[in-house]
Amino acid sequence: MLGFLGLGHIDDLYSAVPAALRLAGGLDLAPGLAEADVLDTLADLAGANRAADLVCFAGGGAYDHDIPAVTRALAGRSEFVTAYTPYQPEVAQGVLQALFEFQTMLCRLTGLEISNASLYDGASACVEAVNLAVAQAGRQTVWVSQGVHPHWRQAIATFAVGTGHRVIDVSLSGGVTAWPPIDSAAGDAPAALLVQTPNFLGCLEDLSAARAVADEHGALLLVASDPVSAGLLRTPGELGADVVVGEGQTLGMSLGFGGPYLGLFTCRASLVRRLPGRLVGETVDTEGRRAYVTTLRAREQDIRREKASSNVCTNQTLMAVTAAIQLSWLGTQGLRELALRCARGTRYCREALVGIDGVEPAASAPVLREFAVRSPVPAPVLIERLADEGFLAGLAVGEGFEGSEYEGCLVVAVTERRTRAQIDAFATAFEKAVR
């Protein structure tokens, strides 16, 4: 091949690279390993993660749900795994149709008309929702409930530096958002209110009340919601949300140390021209057959360039396909049953823990799939102690709640995988750990 190019040596390929920039001696990395050695190396690292063997009571947007063999097998099909973005729809109908089905399911879950084909995660979905609302309302201020996952709030703050948005934190009372009284609201009218339900402490937020506050200000209502909880709860769309975002990890993705997860983004039809990310639509081919294609492409960065309101290109398509498979495995009754089982375990566990001397609920508001408790021992210490007993006890309430009454509390999540025996053992260990 070199001869065909009239070159004598492989280095001649790089004649355009100035000699001073050439890396003498190559990369300072070890030589390549055989496959078996690669696996051994990674297995050793994996073996050093004690958390993998603990019975998991941690949540906060990452839950220990069952992932059936069929979801793993179908989502692992290499045609889905090794395809690129569907730029040539004639050879990408598989991914496009799976995304169309995903969009349909998300709209049914959230009660809105439009779903995109995914964003990176719950945090990025919140950031994009804020950007959409600011552009739509023509105002720079956004009210964000303290009940929104603290990491997501931090991501909103990070990106607001670039866009110049003003983010106002709205604190909690009794575990739920205490929106400021209308007449006391100082400063600019907000473009939007962002609230999460169930919130980071596990409490159910009153969306109708949030809608009323939004209406007083002419603001959009942005709701972060959990797709599993949707099995039992009224849809945010029905309760007045303009945009519903969320973390879709619960729909067939492993805990995986935080990724890849799935950013969910749905909105009202009237907002579709501001939708971030890709949208798949149904159309026909030249023979009139049903076909799918990414559509309203003029919104996207590769066409609008510096005028685009989002820079998203690669998203989390494979995770959206996974979610479509998982939701089809669950079906109408399975999703309800899943939510019900999470709620049953949560109530049982909450009653067991608050029955322990010195342990009390951190909030009085109703909960669904997780809850926060206050104990005489700070949560980080509790987590370390219970790890020695074989449990990942939950998440510590810390960053994002500094100085609040919730700081130092423990958020405990219970999924359908937790048995009565496990919860009983957890409660026994908990009692010992708080002494």
For another protein, the binding residues in 138-197 under the rule CB under 8 A are 149, 151-152, 154-155, 157-159, 161-164
Nearest-angstrom CA–CA distance, 283 and 277: 19
Scanning 117-125, 167-175, 213-221, 353-361 for contacts with another protein by CB under 8 A, the matching segment is 117-125
Neighbouring CB atoms inside 10 A of 105's CB total: 21
Give the x/- contact pattern for another protein in 52-81, rule: CB under 8 A.
Answer: xxx-x-x-xxx-x-x-x-x--xx-xxxxxx
Q: Put the strands of the sheet holding 220-225 in their side by side order.
A: 114-115, 263-267, 243-247, 220-225, 192-197, 141-145, 166-170
Q: How far is the CB of 184 from another protein (least distance, A)?
A: 26
Q: How far is the CB of 38 from another protein (least distance, A)?
A: 5
Nearer to another protein by C-beta: 218 or 380? 380
Q: How far is the CB of 357 from another protein (least distance, A)?
A: 23
Q: Say which amino acid occupies 423.
A: I
Of residues 231, 228, 258, the one with CA closest to residue 246: 228
CA torsion, ordered 116, 122, 127, 129, to nearest 10 deg: 40
Of residues 360, 361, 347, the one with CA closest to residue 175: 361
Scanning 27-35, 140-148, 173-181, 425-433 for contacts with another protein by CB under 8 A, the matching segment is 27-35
What is the phi-psi region of residue 386: left when phi exceeds 0, alpha when psi lies from -120 to 50, beta otherwise? alpha
Nearer to another protein by C-beta: 221 or 327? 327
Window 252-271: residues binding another protein (CB under 8 A)? 254-261
Q: How far is the CB of 170 from another protein (least distance, A)?
A: 19
Q: How far is the CB of 185 from another protein (least distance, A)?
A: 25
* Token pair of 156 as six digits: 């909103």
User: Can you tell me which residue has the tokens 């790890």?
Assistant: 387
Nearer to another protein by C-beta: 128 or 219? 128
Position among 200, 310, 353, 359 found at the interface with another protein (CB under 8 A): 310
Nearer to another protein by C-beta: 92 or 170? 92
Burial class (CB in 10 A: 0-12, 13-18, 19+), 199: buried
Window 227-246: residues binding another protein (CB under 8 A)? 230-235, 237
At 316, phi and psi to the nearest 5?
-130, 50
Window 348-407: residues binding another protein (CB under 8 A)? 348, 366, 368, 380, 383-384, 387, 392, 395
Find the angle CA(346)-CA(75)-CA(318) to the nearest 5 degrees: 90
Position among 186, 289, 402, 403 found at the interface with another protein (CB under 8 A): 289
Give the x/- contact pattern for another protein in 315-344, rule: CB under 8 A.
Answer: xxxxx-x--xx-xxxxxxxxxxxx-xx-xx
Position among 8, 21, 138, 184 found at the interface with another protein (CB under 8 A): 21
Position among 212, 308, 354, 425 found at the interface with another protein (CB under 8 A): 308
Farthest CA pair distance, the chain: 83
* Token pair of 155 as six digits: 């991501």
Q: How far is the CB of 218 from another protein (least distance, A)?
A: 25
Task: Dump the DSSP string for 238-264.
Answer: TTT-SEEEEE-TTTT---GGG-S--EE
Q: How far is the CB of 182 from another protein (least distance, A)?
A: 22
Give the x/- contact pattern for another protein in 199-218, rule: CB under 8 A.
Answer: -----x-x-x----------
Nearer to another protein by C-beta: 22 or 403? 22
At 232, phi and psi to the nearest 5?
-120, -15
Size of the site for another protein (CB under 8 A): 202
